[in-house]
Amino acid sequence: MRYGPPRVGAVGRDLPLARARLAFYLLLASLYVASLTWGMTTSYHVSVLLYSNTLIDGGTRVSREVVSALRGYVADLVYLGDGYAAAHSAGFVFWSTAASALARALGLGGGYLYVEHLRVLNALAAVAGVLAVIYVERLALLYVDGWRALLVAGAYATGLGWVYSSMAYSQSFSAPFTAAGLYYLARWIRRRGTRDAVASLLALSVAATSDHTLVLLGSAALALALLGSRGARSLAKALALYLVPLSAAALYYWLVVGVPMTTQMVYAQQLGVAPLDLGRVLRELSLAELVFGLRKGLLVTSPALAVQLLLAVPSLARPGRPRGELLLAYSTLLTLLVAYSSWYDWHGGLSYGPRVLLSALPLTVPLLSVPLSQSRPLEYLTAALSAVR
């Protein structure tokens, strides 16, 4: 069987498929919205919302008095000498601030625990989750037909994407931009369209503002764009498209907080630990826990996608158009897994997961889609694993 979708663009002409897609997305949105009750008031969320409201009120630090009064609720704050700031990425602070501003505009209160603001933040995460699934399906359509693309979208939606699209974390907001960036990158590889390159670089840059590890993926996309550029002007445009959003976020955070992009490094240092330690990957087998661990491994949280790390290997050896894209997805995914498993986990366990995997999860879409185009039994296996999850 040949690679690629037999009927690209046939979604709109296939009435049964159109009905199935409508039912799928209605059910998906309903489940995500109903799951907003999962967004319990955690220290992670109270900390970022407290800091967001401080920014809205014109401040840049949370006072010691407020932190002392909320002791036990705001552990995810970092002391910077003249007060506290959120121990979160610039991108997540932005989305949190947007949620608080929207909550205030709607007349919602919240007090110090900002429960109403958290519901708005979780609602934004649910919207981001649905958008991620939409782009996952679009990405899959570049490799398989409409029904199989819907199966891939279902496999993604029933895994990690379900949980962390109703409980806002920084990765909840990076995932849709990762999926969109990969989709436009794959289209650019096929068509060499300028708009696709622009959309891909911008999306991956925005994704990296919430999860800075995604700079690895963005760098790979940027390298491809630079190799495909013609002349110094095109090179400069490609660099600017990727660097401007990241630079703007870094500059803003530097002016407001005093550190570029994230306070997590400072937070780890105050805890007396090394935030990044590649030696842990071999010394403590943290990578194995991140992929195979029973408590938070990818195999448990998204089994239909995890098995593709093995099932996609034969496709890497076959010549054809998707081979380069598969190699890019596979190598980037493995690199990100190593990077994530090198993080120190102050919550217990060897690896920092499983939510860290959400940002990189769209990379599994090509690894699942291409084998699906060649194997009917794999379709049944994917459906079964998605249903079990």
What is the tens place of the pLDDT at every residue in 3-44?
Answer: 343 444 445 578 999 999 999 999 988 887 776 555 566 788
Among 23-37, 237-251, 269-283, where is mean pLDDT lowest?
Answer: 269-283
Tokens describing residue 113: 């625990």
- Whether 176 maps to a domain, the answer reads yes
- Whether 2 maps to a domain, the answer reads no
How confident is the model over 134-163, as a mean pLDDT? 91
Q: How many domains does the chain have?
A: 1
99 in the Ramachandran plot: left (φ > 0), alpha (ψ -120 to 50) or beta? alpha
Listed in sequence order, the residues at least 6 apart from 242 whose beta carbon sits closer than 8 Å to its beta carbon are 201, 202, 204, 205, 218, 221, 222, 225
Distance (Å, whole) CA 322 – CA 119 = 41
- Whether 220 maps to a domain, the answer reads yes
pLDDT digits (tens, 9 = 90+) for 262-272: 666 666 666 66
SS3 262: strand
What is the pLDDT at residue 6?
41
Query: Residue 314 has what DSSP assignment?
Result: H
Q: Which domain holds residue 79?
A: 11-388
Element (DSSP H or E) covering residue 256: helix 231-256
Distance (Å, whole) CA 208 – CA 193 = 23
Distance (Å, whole) CA 93 – CA 27 = 30
- The reported pTM is 0.89
Other beta carbons within 10 Å of 127 = 16
How confident is the model over 349-369, as a mean pLDDT? 84
What is the pLDDT at residue 4?
40
Distance (Å, whole) CA 45 – CA 43 = 5
SS3 71: coil
DSSP per-residue codes, 78-141: EE-SSSEEESSBHHHHHHHHHHHHHHHHTT---TTTTHHHHHHHHHHHHHHHHHHHHHHHHHHH
- Whether 384 maps to a domain, the answer reads yes
- Whether 116 maps to a domain, the answer reads yes
What is the overall mean pLDDT for the chain?
Answer: 83
More confident residue, 266 or 172: 172
4 and 373 Cβ atoms separated by less than 8 Å? yes
State the distance between the two ends of the chain, measured CA to CA, in whole angstroms. Answer: 29
- Whether 4 maps to a domain, the answer reads no
355 and 340 Cβ atoms separated by less than 8 Å? no
Among 52-56, 202-206, 211-215, 341-345, where is mean pLDDT lowest?
Answer: 341-345
78 and 266 Cβ atoms separated by less than 8 Å? yes
